Chains A and B, each alone.
Chain A
């Protein structure tokens, strides 16, 4: 079983829609969870990180962790064409907290 699994999509939504992006993970010991955004031909940019369970909100973005089901989510409200990118979940794991294990990424397109 892979440490982090992410539905690759692609996902296409109209402008203004609520977007839900999800990952599952295998190791219940994981405590930190993060989401990166990667625009085409660019490097990953850290969007949000959360610790343990619960929600964290930043503007139109909400990160949610459900440790009981090993499920992490990123919600985007009022999605904009500028949100079109690949979203990657990442978890410090692989036996050390400096090594990030990434999901394969979900390609999101927001259509005007």
Chain B
């Protein structure tokens, strides 16, 4: 019973390149959440998706960031034209229902370094 799977674990990109982070939710979970953890800061909500739908992207920067959760395959967080300030740990979580009252399960994260 695999948990939330994220890959790659580590990603290094040069400024201006694109970063694609993948997240496969737990089996049976159709709700996916992305969070970002910047150095010296807590986890911050970015986006909430269900299959083929973006439910809430209020935490996403307006430019360069996008997310999708297609009918088939993993959820993707895409960062275009990365800058040094995008260096952070990005965590994906999933849940069976679309609520966080009982918490949800996080993956191990992707650590993005922009050089």
Contact = CB atoms under 8 A, between A and B. Distances in A.
Interface of B: 4, 6, 31, 33, 35, 40-45, 48, 55-56, 59, 91, 95, 98-109, 111
Contact of A98 (B40, B56, B108, B109): B56
B91 A98 contact: no
Contacts of A6: 42
Interface in A39-94: 41-46, 49, 51, 88, 90, 92, 94
A49 B95 CA distance: 15
Contacts, number: 71
Interface residues of A, number: 27
Contacts of B44: 102
A91 to B, nearest CB: 9
A99 B43 contact: no
A44 to B, nearest CB: 5
Nearest to A105: B42
Given A88-B43, A98-B31, A99-B48, A46 B99 contact: no
A44 B42 contact: no
The 10 closest A-B pairs by CB, nearest first: A43-B106, A46-B103, A92-B100, A104-B42, A102-B42, A32-B101, A102-B43, A43-B108, A34-B103, A97-B99
